[in-house]
Structure 1
């Protein structure tokens, strides 16, 4: 493209070409007059002969063909995964076998916003303030296990507010009346909450999780015992466990269990959920890809889908922080056992 100090603007090129073609100047004389090379003078003269004054503008430098260009079908698959699954460029690239930068260019070309600029539920544009993220990771599986509890409202038979709207779906803030029966909101039973207990390995992101009925110390301790047994069965020796400062984790029963296995107990800083960030990130994935991935007709339907989600997360789902590998790929001798 021409710039302000260019010797040959489109108008200057036309003057040069007319001197050669219309007035019969030799190429060398025209080149000296307009202070360009003979090759340049010949180029503009030839274009003028072939196409007239309209050919004096700049041409695109884009090649006529690109054998290695991503196919249109592949581009549609990239955009489709962003829209339907809300995946980032790294995860889409791992799934389709493309380069991450290629996927990013495709998303940019089609005007796809960054996921951090959109609402997780609706996909509507919401520009969020960017935060600087500092990553850390233990060297081996079992060095640190993140433990947490996620509370989700149960779904009544026939579907909740995601099926019928919030006016009819009701709330789960007060599940039962004084007589023990489920409280009704707008004529629909209020079923309370399900408590998902998680144990996430820091190094591999491998997760053991159960859907339980409460977060009492007995329930949390029994879950931790089963989690430790599961990690042992896959060859992971637990060294440390990190929890928040919940009452169930500060109970003597929970501490005795860890002491019995020789496990060091670490707590997160108060009001700093980022300290337990890996299990918090799993909670977000769980909501996006299982709990709220589609409108369920009942709680039993959602619970039935949980084992498949957990297996996919551990053995099939590529993790961007693991460079496209699944959590099971980082656990020795595990990936080939549960394919």
Structure 2
């Protein structure tokens, strides 16, 4: 049940008020004062309590809506919508206002064309051995010279004008979630290829031989330099379908965790301070932080047991 935004009492609070009056013999005025409501409102709750009615908020919807769109017209709108007609096209065909058609579509849950498609089943997968597949992705973060409104609140106007951007490159092993991260100046093909070489070397030092890499369709990942590098080091490159970030979901999910627990988890002096803290957080993630999909074990623990 959703309470009114300005409701002083919950359902249990209303019930407590009524019991204080009826069972503990409180004065209505005293019970109303204790509940922070008016005496008149307290009498209304008492009347509903005595009548055995619910103490939840009643719907504000009218008992009748004479001007509501007829059911037959709503059915026609739904039929046209299933033919993938837009709201403006449906309004023109039925000679109705576009706003009315939009309201009907929103009411029946067809305001977006994607609602016409069947729900796609979950497509979860996990490689059996470390290194079989590495997920790569990039997240752009703004540089700053002093804390801004994200740390100090909306009222603060301490923007670092023309501070620029930096790119957080991540590599996540599909089987163990072992992760390697670098903050680099950009996401050009040359920079991204350099990160790939260092990531492969880092995984190799931990006994993980990378065989395949999965990326989205970013410009660096579709470049000739990237393709030549993958061929040179013997990597199979897998690209996700356009507009399908869920395919590379392990990297996407890692970036969410990275932002929540590192990038926006503390008030940093500047972006250099934030970057300096990153290696310690990555070490914690790999060696200590429990991972839900790994049975609440750390990636290094899973790698050692493999």
TM-score exceeds 0.5: yes
Q: CA–CA distance in 2 between the matches of 1:255 and 1:219?
A: 14
Matched with 1:161 is 149
Q: CA–CA distance in 1 between the matches of 2:143 and 2:182?
A: 15
Identify the match of residue 136 of structure 1 among 119, 125, 134.
125
The aligned runs of 1:242-253 (5 Å cut-off) are: 242-253=214-225
Q: Secondary structure at the match of 2:214?
A: strand
In structure 2, the CA distance between the partners of 1:328 and 1:166, relative to structure 1 (3 Å rule), is same
Post-superposition shift, 1:303?
1.2
The aligned runs of 1:208-227 (5 Å cut-off) are: 208-227=180-199
Q: CA–CA distance in 1 between the matches of 2:155 and 2:297?
A: 43
Q: Secondary structure at the match of 1:300?
A: helix
- 1:150 matches 2:134: no
Deviations 1:276-303 (A, max 9, x none): 0000000000011111112222112211
Deviations 1:191-223 (A, max 9, x none): 122200011000000011100000000000010
- 1:322 matches 2:288: no
Deviations 1:238-292 (A, max 9, x none): 1100011111111111111111121100001100100000000000000111111
Matched with 2:256 is 284
Matched with 2:35 is none
Identify the match of residue 261 of structure 1 among 223, 227, 233.
233
In structure 2, the CA distance between the partners of 1:295 and 1:230, relative to structure 1 (3 Å rule), is same
Deviations 1:121-167 (A, max 9, x none): xxxxxxxxx9974421001000100000011112222x111234446
Q: CA–CA distance in 1 between the matches of 2:277 and 2:120?
A: 34
Q: Report the TM-score, using the length of structure 1 for normalisation.
A: 0.52
Q: Secondary structure at the match of 2:256?
A: helix
Q: Secondary structure at the match of 1:152?
A: strand
Superposition CA RMSD, Å: 2.1
Q: Secondary structure at the match of 1:189?
A: coil
Matched with 2:205 is 233
Identify the match of residue 201 of structure 1 among 147, 155, 173.
173
Q: CA–CA distance in 2 between the matches of 1:210 and 1:132?
A: 34
CA contact (8 A) 1:156 1:191 kept: yes
Post-superposition shift, 1:189?
2.7
The aligned runs of 1:1-339 (5 Å cut-off) are: 133-157=122-146, 159-166=147-154, 168-169=156-157, 188-332=160-304
CA contact (8 A) 1:235 1:332 kept: no
Higher-Rg member (1/2): 1
Q: CA–CA distance in 2 between the matches of 1:333 and 1:259?
A: 31
Q: CA–CA distance in 1 between the matches of 2:202 and 2:150?
A: 35
Q: CA–CA distance in 2 between the matches of 1:294 and 1:226?
A: 28
Q: Secondary structure at the match of 2:168?
A: strand
Q: CA–CA distance in 1 between the matches of 2:254 and 2:246?
A: 12
In structure 2, the CA distance between the partners of 1:225 and 1:333, relative to structure 1 (3 Å rule), is farther
Q: CA–CA distance in 2 between the matches of 1:290 and 1:276?
A: 21
Matched with 1:54 is none
> Unpaired runs of 5+ in structure 1?
1-129, 171-184, 335-339
Deviates more, 1:228-237 or 1:275-284: 228-237
Q: CA–CA distance in 2 between the matches of 1:280 and 1:154?
A: 21
CA contact (8 A) 1:142 1:236 kept: yes
